Amino acid sequence: EIVLTQSPGTLSLSPGERATLSCRASQSVSSSYLAWYQQKPGQAPRLLIYGASSRATGIPDRFSGSGSGTDFTLTISRLEPEDFAVYYCQQYGSSTRWTFGQGTKVEIK
Protein backbone atom coordinates (compact mmCIF):
# COMPACT_ATOMS: atom_id res chain seq x y z
CA GLU A 1 0.00 0.00 0.00
CA ILE A 2 1.35 3.39 -1.02
CA VAL A 3 1.28 6.09 1.66
CA LEU A 4 1.31 9.76 0.70
CA THR A 5 2.94 12.12 3.20
CA GLN A 6 2.36 15.82 2.78
CA SER A 7 4.53 18.51 4.27
CA PRO A 8 4.41 20.85 5.96
CA GLY A 9 1.22 20.27 7.88
CA THR A 10 0.59 24.00 8.00
CA LEU A 11 2.13 26.77 5.93
CA SER A 12 1.77 30.32 7.25
CA LEU A 13 2.28 32.87 4.50
CA SER A 14 1.16 36.33 3.46
CA PRO A 15 -0.77 37.22 0.29
CA GLY A 16 1.64 37.65 -2.59
CA GLU A 17 4.11 35.12 -1.24
CA ARG A 18 5.06 31.84 -2.91
CA ALA A 19 3.76 28.57 -1.46
CA THR A 20 5.54 25.28 -1.97
CA LEU A 21 3.72 22.14 -0.85
CA SER A 22 5.27 18.70 -0.86
CA CYS A 23 3.73 15.25 -1.37
CA ARG A 24 6.02 12.28 -0.86
CA ALA A 25 5.00 8.73 -1.76
CA SER A 26 6.27 5.65 0.06
CA GLN A 27 6.81 3.96 -3.32
CA SER A 28 7.22 5.26 -6.84
CA VAL A 29 3.98 6.62 -8.32
CA SER A 30 3.23 7.17 -11.98
CA SER A 31 2.93 10.89 -12.64
CA SER A 32 -0.25 10.14 -14.56
CA TYR A 33 -1.83 8.97 -11.33
CA LEU A 34 -1.04 11.98 -9.13
CA ALA A 35 -3.55 14.77 -8.55
CA TRP A 36 -3.93 17.79 -6.27
CA TYR A 37 -7.11 19.21 -4.76
CA GLN A 38 -8.03 22.38 -2.90
CA GLN A 39 -10.64 22.39 -0.16
CA LYS A 40 -12.09 25.41 1.57
CA PRO A 41 -14.09 25.19 4.82
CA GLY A 42 -17.56 23.79 4.29
CA GLN A 43 -16.90 23.04 0.63
CA ALA A 44 -16.17 19.96 -1.41
CA PRO A 45 -12.65 19.42 -2.72
CA ARG A 46 -11.87 20.98 -6.09
CA LEU A 47 -9.50 19.48 -8.64
CA LEU A 48 -6.47 21.67 -9.27
CA ILE A 49 -3.84 19.50 -10.93
CA TYR A 50 -3.91 16.09 -12.58
CA GLY A 51 -1.14 14.06 -14.13
CA ALA A 52 1.19 15.74 -11.61
CA SER A 53 1.49 18.90 -13.71
CA SER A 54 -1.63 19.54 -15.81
CA ARG A 55 -3.95 22.26 -14.59
CA ALA A 56 -7.64 21.44 -14.47
CA THR A 57 -10.12 23.55 -16.40
CA GLY A 58 -10.44 27.06 -15.00
CA ILE A 59 -7.50 26.82 -12.62
CA PRO A 60 -5.32 29.96 -12.65
CA ASP A 61 -1.77 29.63 -13.90
CA ARG A 62 -0.35 30.66 -10.53
CA PHE A 63 -0.96 27.02 -9.59
CA SER A 64 1.59 24.58 -10.91
CA GLY A 65 2.51 20.99 -10.19
CA SER A 66 5.76 19.14 -10.69
CA GLY A 67 7.62 16.04 -9.67
CA SER A 68 7.99 12.39 -10.45
CA GLY A 69 8.68 9.07 -8.78
CA THR A 70 8.16 9.62 -5.07
CA ASP A 71 8.39 13.41 -4.80
CA PHE A 72 5.73 15.79 -6.03
CA THR A 73 5.24 19.51 -5.48
CA LEU A 74 2.36 21.94 -5.75
CA THR A 75 3.46 25.54 -6.12
CA ILE A 76 1.31 28.63 -5.83
CA SER A 77 3.43 31.40 -7.31
CA ARG A 78 1.73 34.37 -5.64
CA LEU A 79 -0.89 33.70 -3.03
CA GLU A 80 -4.24 35.38 -3.50
CA PRO A 81 -6.67 35.76 -0.58
CA GLU A 82 -8.87 32.99 -2.01
CA ASP A 83 -5.96 30.51 -2.04
CA PHE A 84 -5.87 30.07 1.73
CA ALA A 85 -7.27 26.58 2.09
CA VAL A 86 -6.29 22.96 2.63
CA TYR A 87 -4.56 21.10 -0.19
CA TYR A 88 -4.53 17.34 -0.71
CA CYS A 89 -2.53 15.14 -3.02
CA GLN A 90 -4.07 11.91 -4.29
CA GLN A 91 -2.77 8.88 -6.10
CA TYR A 92 -4.41 6.03 -7.98
CA GLY A 93 -3.25 2.47 -7.51
CA SER A 94 -4.65 -0.56 -9.31
CA SER A 95 -4.79 -2.62 -6.12
CA THR A 96 -5.46 -0.02 -3.45
CA ARG A 97 -7.47 2.23 -5.77
CA TRP A 98 -7.28 5.70 -4.23
CA THR A 99 -5.08 7.22 -1.54
CA PHE A 100 -5.02 10.77 -0.22
CA GLY A 101 -2.31 12.60 1.63
CA GLN A 102 -3.22 14.01 5.03
CA GLY A 103 -3.37 17.57 3.70
CA THR A 104 -1.45 20.83 4.01
CA LYS A 105 -3.22 23.88 5.38
CA VAL A 106 -2.14 27.18 3.88
CA GLU A 107 -3.06 29.90 6.36
CA ILE A 108 -2.69 33.64 6.44
CA LYS A 109 0.34 34.78 8.41
Partner 1 sequence: EVQLVESGGGLVKPGGSLRLSCAASGFTFSSYSMNWVRQAPGKGLEWVSSISSSSSYIYYADSVKGRFTISRDNAKNSLYLQMNSLRAEDTAVYYCAREVGGVYWYFDLWGRGTLVTVSS
Which among 83, 71, 94 is positioned nearest to 7, based on CA atoms?
71
Contact present, 36 and 65 (Cβ < 8 Å)? yes
Residue 72 lies near partner 1 (rule: CB under 8 A): no
CB of 67 or CB of 101, closer to partner 1: 101
Contact present, 87 and 36 (Cβ < 8 Å)? yes
Task: Tell me the window of 12-20, 60-68, 72-80, 93-101 that interacts with partner 1 (CB under 8 A).
Answer: 93-101
In this chain, which of 10, 47, 68, 107 binds partner 1, going by CB under 8 A?
Answer: 47
The site map against partner 1 for 8-37 (x = CB under 8 A) is ------------------------xx-x-x
Which among 100, 24, 21 is positioned nearest to 64, based on CA atoms?
21
